[in-house]
């Protein structure tokens, strides 16, 4: 199933290509030809190895489809995560390594995770004894890409937690929304104490006392310089995406009630006229962008969160389910009920 929106600006969830270079090396070590993995994705080995390059959501999806088919392995993210020491993450990894403690390193990851991938967002909640990091997939993210990104994240946390906090015996508990995945439990290291499936959200739970343990490589000056470099790289990444792509991602991440263009302009510290002018220069209208984001969220609620039609309509701000059904049919060419029936009969994805 591909829930990614079709326009180019709707395919803006970028992922750093450095991770796919490592994935190709893992597959080649298993005797799998990298050319076959890249076939049909529009990607080349040279492009992936270019410094500071990123791949789109659809490019990643095509590459992963080839990789899973050729390797017959649904746990490629776990294998990749085991190769990701902090230096493998580039600037954001170096900056995290020089943080004072885990609290500062997590704050960095939450703020700047787009340097790794925009396909998920991280949210941190600190408690008196237990804290958690919630991994929120972007609406419209296809299941294989979500599986790969989340697996890579928890596997790399397993590795990095052991490296940074090993002497304190860190213990992370992982919640996953998926049904139980055969073989996943055996891929975990000592830092992951438990893995629970069929949960409402992907979450990483950790003891709050771990947050204040000083990192051995803490360096306040180097960390401050790293934060500045992260901000410059984020700004450069935003310029690469274009206004429509950035605004589309912004709309997907907002509250479920659709914001007005005035609300968005205010949040971005520009005028609504400027937003209109920027979109017109790229051949996109605001209403088109807003409607695409709304329907992407609708498909996400219906298929990925199991919401009913009435609940989906309410969450998207429609007055009633009839109005939502008409809007969905205009956009998708079928009613929500027909869309769900088609999904149930054709899509084996979890």
Contact 152, 64 (CB under 8 A): no
pLDDT at position 272 is 87
Q: Is the pTM of this model over 0.85?
A: no
Query: What confidence score (pLDDT) does residue 7 get?
Result: 53
Query: What is the number of alpha carbons within 13 Å of residue 309 lying toward its C-beta?
Result: 17
pLDDT for the residue 164? 67
- Which residue, 43, 42, 40, is CA-closest to 70? 40
Give dist(CA 20, CA 45) in Å, integer: 9
Q: Residue 196's closest CA among 132, 138, 139?
A: 132
Distance CA 119, CA 15 (A): 7
pLDDT of residue 280: 85
User: Cα 302–308–313 angle (5° rounding)?
Assistant: 85
pLDDT at 201: 93
What's the CA gap between 295 and 292, in Å, rounded? 5
Find out if CATH 3.40.605.10 is the number for domain 242-346: no
Output the tens digit of pLDDT for each of the chain's 350 residues: 333 334 555 555 789 999 999 999 999 999 999 999 999 999 999 989 987 899 988 899 999 999 999 999 999 999 999 999 878 899 999 999 999 999 999 999 999 999 999 999 999 999 999 999 999 998 888 889 999 999 999 999 888 777 766 566 678 899 999 999 888 988 888 888 889 999 999 999 999 999 998 988 899 999 999 999 999 998 888 777 778 877 887 787 775 567 788 888 887 788 888 888 888 888 888 888 888 888 888 888 888 788 899 999 988 888 889 999 999 999 889 999 998 888 775 444 43
Q: Between 2.40.50, 3.90.1520, 3.30.420, 3.30.1120, what CATH number should domain 8-230 receive?
A: 3.90.1520
- Please choose, from the candidates 92, 111, 114, 59, the residue with its C-alpha nearest in 3D space to the C-alpha of residue 238: 114
Q: Which H or E element spans position 265? A: helix 261-267
Which of these, 140, 148, 144, lies nearest to 116 by C-alpha position?
148
d(CA 11, CA 41): 14
Rounded alpha-carbon distances, angstroms, from residue 57 to 64, 100, 119, 350: 11, 34, 8, 19
Q: Where are the domains of the chain?
A: 8-230, 242-346
Choose among 123, 112, 93, 122: nearest CA to 223.
93
Largest Cα span, the chain? 59
Task: End-to-end CA distance of the chain: give it in Å, rounded.
Answer: 10
**CA-CA distances (angstroms) from residue 186 to 14, 74, 202?**
30, 13, 19
Residue 347: half-sphere exposure toward Cβ, Cα within 13 Å: 16
């Amino acid at each position: 199933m591909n829930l990614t929106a079709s326009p180019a600006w709707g395919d803006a969830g970028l992922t750093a290509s450095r991770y796919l270079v490592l994935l190709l090396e893992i597959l080649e070590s298993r005797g799998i030809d990298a050319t076959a993995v890249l076939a049909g994705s529009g990607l080349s080995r040279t492009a992936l190895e270019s410094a500071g390059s990123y791949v789109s959501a659809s490019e990643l999806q095509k590459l992963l489809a080839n990789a899973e088919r050729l390797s017959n392995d649904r746990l490629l993210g776990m294998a990749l995560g085991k190769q990701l020491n902090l230096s493998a993450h580039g600037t954001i990894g170096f900056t995290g390594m020089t943080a004072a403690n885990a609290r500062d390193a997590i704050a960095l990851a939450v703020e700047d995770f787009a340097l790794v991938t925009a396909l998920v967002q991280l949210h941190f909640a600190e408690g008196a004894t237990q804290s958690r990091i919630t991994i929120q997939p972007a609406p419209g993210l296809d299941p294989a890409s979500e599986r790969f990104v989340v697996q890579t994240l928890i596997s790399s946390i397993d590795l990095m937690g052991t490296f940074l906090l090993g002497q304190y015996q860190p213990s992370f508990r992982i919640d996953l929304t998926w049904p139980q995945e055969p073989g996943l439990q055996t891929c975990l290291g000592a830092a992951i104490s438990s893995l629970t499936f069929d949960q409402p959200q992907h979450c990483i739970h950790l003891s709050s006392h771990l947050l204040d343990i000083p990192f051995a490589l803490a360096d306040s000056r180097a960390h401050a310089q790293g934060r500045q470099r992260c901000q410059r790289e984020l700004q450069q990444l935003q310029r690469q995406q274009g206004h429509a792509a950035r605004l589309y991602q912004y709309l997907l991440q907002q509250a479920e009630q659709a914001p007005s263009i005035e609300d968005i302009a205010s949040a971005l510290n520009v005028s609504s006229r400027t937003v209109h002018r920027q979109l017109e220069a790229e051949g996109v209208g605001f209403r088109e962008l807003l409607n695409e984001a709304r329907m992407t969220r609708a498909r996400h609620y219906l298929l990925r969160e199991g919401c009913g039609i009435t609940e989906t309509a309410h969450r998207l701000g429609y007055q009633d389910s009839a109005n939502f059904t008409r809007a969905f049919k205009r956009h998708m060419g079928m009613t929500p009920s027909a869309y769900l029936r088609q999904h149930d009969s054709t899509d084996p994805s979890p």
